[in-house]
DNA sequence: TGGCGGTTAAAACAAACGTTTAAATTGTTG
DNA sequence: CAACAATTTAAACGTTTGTTTTAACCGCCA
């Protein structure tokens, strides 16, 4: 078993287990036994558990943000005015295609993103912001220019509403899908759910801004 | 210090600490030392840490759902047809007023709700569903009847989108507010944010449903 | 006052945690 | 093949965790 194998096996196991149980609830012993490697391998290859967590995020956030950046650049040159639907569909398409091509589960991606936000883990938030903050701001900026009539503060709140709707519903996709399947017998694929989410997000972003005075 | 005092002090400390750090990240020793009581008091009065977590949720979910039920019943008899805005405003008003009257922080309420969803904690999810599932279904049903033209599956997905937007953005309220204040110098109160969230949620729920065929 | 249930207190419990150590093994290079 | 660096292994480290135990304390009623 070569070095690359060990590192990769640890990352694979950690990614799945973190998404299923959270960071604190997943012990290094569970990770290493699942990966079939020695307990000390994590500290040897990554230094600490915190750095392992960051490495898990780095492995899928780096290709994701680079693809997203490229897609945004392509959109910016292609047409004169950015369309909201195009932007959101870019986001979804990049997230889905990029991960699916690696044989990774996009739902796990969303679940981890949700964990990054909700589990305190200050070091992780700092790591993500410092590493991927620029990509995030670029995407938010593109979205903002497609919504010129919405004042900045309202726009940013709605952006967080949209992120919340996305991360929350997709990170719990399996649970929600199971409920709906039981109640209505209707199966939902991830693609279908994104096809439902996109227009809902557009409607939320473009909703008329109520005037202060009434 | 009477028995009631001890139980209450533990619940108060646990509520704050859980909301700040999560369940696993908060030890019983931190809770009891913050509350100024003996370590063994938690196991004596609540039985276990799991039951303490459930008790924290029970303390604010029970008055919340009973108020919500009453408000929904009032709305149902008052007018002929339920208005979407009224329903959402009921939800928000009940959540805010009910908690504020107890001197508790509504943001903490949302933060805990978010944790209940995202931190796996299977026992907590089971506890909440079994205890408050009826209230949830009643509210969802009221919302559904106010949206007769939306097919059930689309409606339920949008309901989860809405819940995600609400829980996610309000549970991170302080962090988001701090960012917006730094970037735009604009302060946002919780009431203002709910006033932004309500129309955005309505827009999302009432968005035109794209037809399958194109 | 004496005793009794309810509560608090200090201490200890075993288990699990992340991390470190030091030896054994492997792979590579001269 | 020899030698050195990289990696894996088993074992132990010290902490921290939730929980339990046993004794002390308290208020109250007979």
pTM of the complete model: 0.92
**Nearest CA-CA distance, residue B3 and chain A, Å:** 33
Beta strands in chain A (DSSP E): none
CA distance B14 to B20: 10
The angle at the Cα of B158, spanning B93 to B189, to the nearest 5 degrees, equals: 35
Give the closest of A21, A164, A200 to B168, CB-based.
A164
CA distance A204 to A199: 9
Longest dimension (CA), chain B: 69
- The separation, in Å, between residue A207 CA and nucleotide C10 C1' comes to 62
**Region of B37 on the Ramachandran plot (φ > 0 left; ψ -120 to 50 alpha; else beta):** beta
B2 touches strand C (CB under 7 A): yes
Residue A79, pLDDT score: 65
Q: How confident is the model at residue A212 (pLDDT cuts 50, 70, 90)?
A: low
B37 touches strand C (CB under 7 A): yes
Is the confidence at residue A6, as pLDDT, over 60? yes
CA distance B90 to B98: 11
The predicted-structure confidence for A52-75, as pLDDT tens digits, reads as follows 999 999 999 999 999 999 988 988
What count of CB pairs under 8 Å joins A to B?
141
Percent share of chain A, pLDDT over 70 = 94
CA distance A181 to A183: 6
Question: Under an 8 A CB cutoff, do A197 and B160 touch?
Answer: no
From residue A89, alpha-carbon distances to A29, A72, A95, B69 in Å are 40, 11, 10, 39
A76 vs A154: which has the higher pLDDT: A154
Q: Which residues in chain B are closer than 8 Å to A140, comparing Cβ atoms?
A: none
Cβ-based burial of A104 (10 A; exposed 0-12, middle 13-18, buried ≥19) = middle
What pLDDT tens digit does each residue of chain B (214 aa) get? 455 699 999 999 999 999 999 999 999 999 999 999 999 999 999 999 999 999 999 999 999 999 999 988 988 887 666 778 878 888 888 878 877 777 788 889 888 988 888 776 779 988 999 999 999 999 999 999 999 999 999 999 999 999 999 988 888 898 899 999 999 998 999 989 999 999 999 999 999 987 764 4
**Nearest CA-CA distance, residue A2 and chain B, Å:** 34
Give the closest of A117, A188, A200 to B204, CB-based.
A200
Residue A1, pLDDT score: 44
Chain B, residues 17-56, CB within 8 A of chain A, namely 20-22, 24-25
Question: Under an 8 A CB cutoff, do A157 and B188 touch?
Answer: yes
């Amino acid at each position: 078993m070569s070095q690359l194998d060990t590192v990769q096996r640890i990352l694979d196991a950690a990614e799945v287990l973190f998404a299923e149980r959270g960071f604190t609830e997943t012990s290094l012993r569970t990770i290493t036994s699942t990966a079939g490697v020695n307990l000390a391998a994590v500290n040897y290859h990554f230094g600490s558990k915190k750095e392992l967590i960051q490495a898990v995020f780095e492995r899928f956030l780096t290709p994701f943000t680079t693809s997203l950046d490229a897609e945004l650049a392509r959109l910016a040159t292609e047409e004169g005015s950015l369309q909201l639907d195009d932007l959101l569909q870019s986001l979804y398409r990049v997230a889905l295609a990029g991960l699916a091509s690696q044989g990774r589960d996009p739902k796990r991606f969303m679940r981890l993103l949700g964990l990054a936000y909700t589990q305190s883990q200050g070091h992780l938030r700092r790591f993500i912001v410092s590493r991927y903050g620029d990509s995030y701001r670029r995407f938010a900026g593109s979205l903002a220019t497609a919504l010129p009539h919405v004042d900045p503060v309202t726009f940013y709140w709605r952006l967080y509403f949209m992120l919340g709707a996305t991360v929350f519903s997709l990170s719990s996709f399996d649970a929600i899908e199971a409920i709906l399947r039981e109640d209505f017998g209707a199966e939902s694929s991830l693609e279908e759910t994104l096809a439902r989410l996109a227009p809902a997000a557009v409607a939320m972003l473009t909703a008329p801004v109520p005037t202060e005075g009434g």
